[in-house]
Amino acid sequence: MKLDSVQIRNLRNLQQVSLNPSHGVNFILGINGSGKSSILEAIHYLGFGRSFRTTKHKHVIQSDQESFTVFCQCTDQESVKRLGISRNINDAVSVSINGVRGNKISELVSQLPVQIFTPQSSDILLGSPKLRRKYIDWCLFHVEHPFLICSNSYTKLLKHNNALCRKHQVGYAEPQRIYWTEHLAKYGETLTQFRNTMMERLIPLITSNLEHFLPEFCVEISYYRGWEKGLDLIEALAKASDRDYRNGYISVGPHKADVRFKIDGKPAHEVLSRGQLRMLVAALQLATTQCLMSYTQKTCIFLLDDVGAELDAAKREVFIDKLLESNTQLFVTAIEAHQLEFIDKYQNKKMFHVEHGQVREES
């Protein structure tokens, strides 16, 4: 999907903004606080139903307003779609898909694969395993439709099993526990199968991207599925059960899965500099756009916020080159044009200047 037009109303300092972006690369320039990231935030709402900067939607609504809205028209080879999202001060959400209104965010976000790369994206390597699981699951959500049902079922079953563990501590619930453990194991195995297959697709893509992004390092990538090798999940759950009853929660399963990155046997984040870490993240994110392209023919919209932060000119250039090779529609923010010296070579591009929430397309 590529965005043909975007309309934003009452989102942070963007009172009424309308853009007709290029299907290739869009550069958004402006001084600090002008509203560049808010444009990306608006597009992010279309792809995720939420901000990448806050969990509080009401903080995104322009001060003194009741709600914000973002609309777009987007196209792929087969169709034209009109998508919209609105959030109001009471946290109510309204989405629209081709004029049909509803409130199911998952229906909206499945239409438009959006990815974001910001200075905080390195958290995927520095933060908890949950962020790395989210990374795999985002691809699965867009590539394998049955995945969402399986993942939601597993989450519900896990909650239920955790509750039974706590009940077991006070001495009852044994018959239900066996029944629900079997269910948990069944969905957990299916979920793991989805993730294994996705990692088998992603690892070669990430490795190949790293040859361009970090040629000086050999990064080993491994996937831990969340329980001991050589055991089925039902066996691992049985083995951990005494401890789990004592603690009151299930300690093994795909909710403990992780992706590990090592260089010379050490965790990659302890070896790489901040800029190098960002390039590792870039390789990961590029791999997801490539994976989406090759398994679904869907193209991604890629938001690259503050491209100048911690990436030198050569790294910025190679990242943008590679994203464009994967037929991504790109939105790149920068404070000053000199951070983008190399852009003359791109044919399919537009430049936007942002000042106090007003956007002007350079002719």
Q: Name the segment binding ligand ATP (CB under 6 A); options: 31-39, 172-180, 194-202, 261-269.
A: 31-39
* Separation CA 267–CA 278 (nearest Å): 15
Among the listed residues 33, 102, 146, 275, the single contact to ligand ATP using CB under 6 A:
33
Residue 30 near ligand ATP by CB under 6 A: yes
Q: Which is nearer to ligand ATP, 234 or 335 (CB)?
A: 335
- Minimal distance, residue 308 CB to ligand ATP, in Å: 10
Number of residues that bind ligand ATP (CB under 6 A): 15
Say how many C-beta atoms besides its own lie within 10 A of residue 282's C-beta. Answer: 26
178: tokens are 């066996």
Residue 9 near ligand ATP by CB under 6 A: no
30 labeled binding residue: yes
Q: Which of residues 323-362 bind ligand ATP (CB under 6 A)?
A: 335
130 labeled binding residue: no
Among the listed residues 3, 6, 12, 329, the single contact to ligand ATP using CB under 6 A:
12
109: tokens are 């976000």
Q: Which is nearer to ligand ATP, 284 or 334 (CB)?
A: 334
31 labeled binding residue: yes
Q: Which of residues 104-143 bind ligand ATP (CB under 6 A)?
A: none
36 labeled binding residue: yes
Q: Which is nearer to ligand ATP, 200 or 336 (CB)?
A: 336
Residue 68 near ligand ATP by CB under 6 A: no
Q: Which is nearer to ligand ATP, 35 or 188 (CB)?
A: 35
32 labeled binding residue: yes
Residue 204 near ligand ATP by CB under 6 A: no
Q: Name the segment binding ligand ATP (CB under 6 A); options: 25-33, 108-116, 281-289, 294-302.
A: 25-33
Among the listed residues 35, 49, 226, 254, the single contact to ligand ATP using CB under 6 A:
35
Annotated binding-site positions for ATP: 30-37
Annotated binding-site positions: 30-37
Binding site for ligand ATP (CB under 6 A): 12-13, 30, 32-38, 59, 61-63, 335
